[in-house]
Chain A
Amino acid sequence: MKPIITSKDLVLYYDTFKALRGISMEIPEKQITAFIGPSGCGKSTFLKTLNRMNDLVPGVRVEGEVLFRDEDIFAPSVDVTTLRRKIGMVFQKPNPFPMSIYDNIAYGPRLHGTHSRAELNELVETSLKGAGLWDEVKDRLKKSALGLSGGQQQRLCIARALAVQPDVLLMDEPTSALDPASTMRIEELMATLREQYTVVIVTHNMQQATRISDKCAFFLLGEMIEFGDTEQVFSMPKDKRTEDYITGRFG
């Protein structure tokens, strides 16, 4: 299958610190790819590079290339807002805007030029349904999003990401601030998302990576040590460092 994102020898510096040391990988379309590794290994940095979220960090310098559907995302012609519409992101801590549930979802589409009431209504509904939140909020769309529970807020953020009809969803530890029940809901949701979207998730929870992902990459000290089918990585890892990390015997 043709990859949707291809990274070639990607090197990233935070000033003089080399945070990514030549990452090459192909992320398959409409699958869930998980990045695991200890804190500071570069997995989140790599994730953020995929939609140029790191542009916002001062002192960041990138070498190598990242192709999204064969197009170099660092090319001068690339419009970063359009790129981030195609490659959306959900963060560790739910970050709803201080506005109504409806406006949270409609924010992105409005930004990208959709103003028709009917169209927005439909987008809000399909996005909330897509994120498994519709039934819980359909009667209070005009209420503040800040009144939702943590798990609901995170699903709202997923709905908000879906509203601009992306191809890829990047998720940076999306359940680490949630209780087990909300975590399960998000995991179930991800399983349905993969039918339409490509999902890339950073997680510290290896059981979660095992449960939800199709592919898994292990990062260590800025390098990608191993990348393979999740079942293979967790049953018969090829690299001893992967084995030591996932079996908890690292260091």
Chain B
Amino acid sequence: MAARFSFDAELSALSASLLRMSSLATEAIASAITAFEQHDTARAEAVIKGDARLNELEREIEHQCMTLLLRQQPVARDLRIISTAMKMITDIERIGDAAADIAEISRHIVRDIPAVLPDIRAMAEEAQSMVCDAVEAFTLADVAAAKKIIARDDIVDDAFNNIKKRLVSVLTEDSSMADTAIDYLMVIKYLERLGDHAVNVCEWTEYYKTGVHHTGN
């Protein structure tokens, strides 16, 4: 039986599309967080606009996957990579949405709450690096790395709870800061969701390699 050169080429193209989409999403998060910290409206606008490209890529990859399923009737590893891709793009698209939402909120934050900013920055860094590392673990099909990333979600969840508590006390102490506190709360909620999406990506990486899908949490 001949090797399946054209099929292999299409699978490589699929992986390349996934990587392109993932790197756009991680760039969007980084940019959204900077826009939030620096009140950079232009940057925020760019992130919001850029989200359309991620949605387009999601459709494109979905189409690539459907075509491969239809024409190649893949099994085993081939089937797993394609089903992994189809599930992953949903998470990556939502990572893009979260970035756009953070950017959107950052546009109308006028006052800061300096006391919690360093913690939000630390949380943002952790969530962002979870996403980057998850994409890398997928690229390398590294299950051990994926498992370690899944464990890091607790750090992000704890940060969310801590910051939330402090925002509640800000709210009760100074009601003039209510708007900002609520905006911050939404930002950290999006950051917390980033961690969850990174976990999902890791779980699909594990499925791709082992054929077993663990739903975390």
Residues of chain A whose beta carbon lies under 8 Å from any beta carbon of chain B: 38, 206-207, 210, 234-237, 243, 245-251
Contact = CB atoms under 8 A, between A and B. Distances in A.
Nearest to B209: A236
Interface residues of B, number: 15
Interface stretch (B25-33, B68-76, B140-148, B155-163): B68-76
Contacts of A207: 73
Interface in B169-203: none
Contact of B75 (A38, A206, A250, A251): A206
A203 to B, nearest CB: 14
A235 B1 contact: no
A200 to B, nearest CB: 21
A184 to B, nearest CB: 16
Contacts of B78: 247
Interface of B: 1-4, 7, 73-80, 210-211
A187 to B, nearest CB: 16
B4 A248 contact: yes
Question: Shortest 5 CB-CB distances between A and B: which pairs?
Answer: A236-B211, A234-B75, A250-B1, A248-B4, A246-B75
Contact of B3 (A206, A237, A245, A249): A249
Of the listed residues B2, B7, B75, B210, the one surrounded by the most CB atoms of chain A closer than 10 A to its CB is: B75
Nearest to B212: A236
A249 B80 contact: no
Contacts of A210: 75
Contact of A235 (B2, B3, B4, B211): B211
A235 B76 contact: yes
Given A235-B211, A236-B211, A246 B76 contact: yes
A247 B77 contact: yes
B70 to A, nearest CB: 13
